[in-house]
Amino acid sequence: MGEFDFSVWGPSLPFIRDGLLFTLRLTLIAMTGGIVIGTLLALARLSPIVPLARVAGAYVDLMRSIPLVLVILWFFLIIPYLTGKPVGAEVSAIITFTAFEAAFYCEIMRSGIQSVSRGQVHAAHALGLTQAQAMIHVVLPQALRNMLPVLLTQTIVLFQDTSLVYAIGAKDMLKAADVVGKNYNRPVEMIVLSALIYFAICFSLSLAVRQLQKRVAIVR
């Protein structure tokens, strides 16, 4: 194997950048979609309508019990069946991650909703707000704030997990590093580079979460 040669990093940057852009896009879409769908799932799980709660609960349990790689592979195989036409690895990855992360965001939002006291709900109802208005204006904003650090931490995990799309050949950052590494016969150097980039991004996001936590904390 011989000496390391990090000169390969220079020419690899355009590929890495494209891969990273996809990784970021995937993370952002899956986070936004995951939180929205996850919140709806959480509302369904907490709903007094038993069948609805059961279905949502079953979905969440299913997603949380299967390794992500398998979910990615399964969706890649199943989505063309459902839609009747093949979708690319990238589209498949976006749908999969949104659906998968929704289950995790659901559980976070569920505990967030439950963290808001009964008294708050009573106060909202006593003012004449309907169940839905109380949820939208009083419970969910507090649930989101209470859970913000956990939601963002989950998003950092999501960002790292997106590297698993290599399984279906989507061109994320890790895949780009892999391809360049093979072309230049410098796989180790490229793996080191992508690890450094993952670390730099995740670590600064963690610091940002800590800062944000201080800023948005509700004064009680």
Interface residue list for other proteins (CB under 8 A): 119-120, 122-130, 133, 137-138, 141-142, 145, 218-220
Nearest to other proteins of 69, 129 (CB atom): 129
CB of 136 to other proteins, least distance (A): 9
Helix ranges (H only) for 66-186 are 68-83, 89-115, 118-126, 131-134, 140-161, 173-183
And the tokens for 137? 């204006």
Nearest to other proteins of 139, 190 (CB atom): 139
Nearest to other proteins of 151, 158 (CB atom): 151
CB of 200 to other proteins, least distance (A): 33
And the tokens for 178? 């892999």
Nearest to other proteins of 82, 123 (CB atom): 123
Question: Is 177 within 8 Å of 190 (Cβ atoms)?
Answer: yes
Nearest to other proteins of 133, 183 (CB atom): 133
Q: For residue 128, give the amino acid letter.
A: G
Question: Which residue shows structure tokens 């169940």?
Answer: 131
CB of 116 to other proteins, least distance (A): 10
CB of 197 to other proteins, least distance (A): 36
CB of 39 to other proteins, least distance (A): 16
Of the candidates 22, 35, 18, which has an alpha carbon nearest to the alpha carbon of residue 155? 35
CA 158/CA 142 separation, integer angstroms? 23
Question: What is the SS3 assignment for 186?
Answer: coil
